[in-house]
Amino acid sequence: MLKVIAEDFIQPEAIEIVLPLYRELVEATKREPLCIAYDLYVDEKDIGHFIFIEEWPDRAALDEHCASEHFKRLVPMIDQYKRKEATYILMGAFDENNDTRLFNQ
């Protein structure tokens, strides 16, 4: 299991432009057969701060997502309006059953 947090920081004046791009990206990604979860949230204190919480079976599935037509078309369109670089964290689940092995993948 691979969990991902990806954060975008969009210029305030461009929010209305990126909303339909995000909507299309979420809808197309949720239709990918390997996508377990791909949910988009907005920071309550900063409406230009968009946060994806994703889940994929493994790194290969994430790479396939990043190579998809919709990702390669829509992400550069969204990135035109960024106010700073996007960030991401790749994570494993905290393993509740084993102190010495942090990841359950």
- Could you list the residues that contact a second copy (CB under 8 A)? 3, 5, 16, 19-20, 22-23, 26-27, 39-45, 47, 49-51, 53, 89-94, 96, 99, 102-103
Give the nearer residue to a second copy in terms of CB position, either 77 or 102: 102
Nearest in space to 78 (alpha carbons), one of 43, 105, 46, 52? 52
Q: Which is nearer to a second copy, 67 or 94 (CB)?
A: 94
Tell me if residue 79 falls in helix, strand or coil: helix
Please, how many CA atoms are within 13 Å of residue 23, restricted to the half-sphere of its CB?
Answer: 6
Tokens 């393993």 appear where?
95
Nearest residue to 33 via CA among 9, 65, 71, 73: 65
Minimum Å distance from CB 46 to a second copy? 9
Least distance in angstroms from the C-beta of 94 to a second copy: 4
Is the Cβ of residue 68 or residue 91 nearer to a second copy in the bound state? 91
**38-69-105 Cα angle (round to 5):** 40
- CB of 103 vs a second copy, minimal distance in Å: 7
Quote the least distance from Cβ 91 to a second copy, whole Å: 4
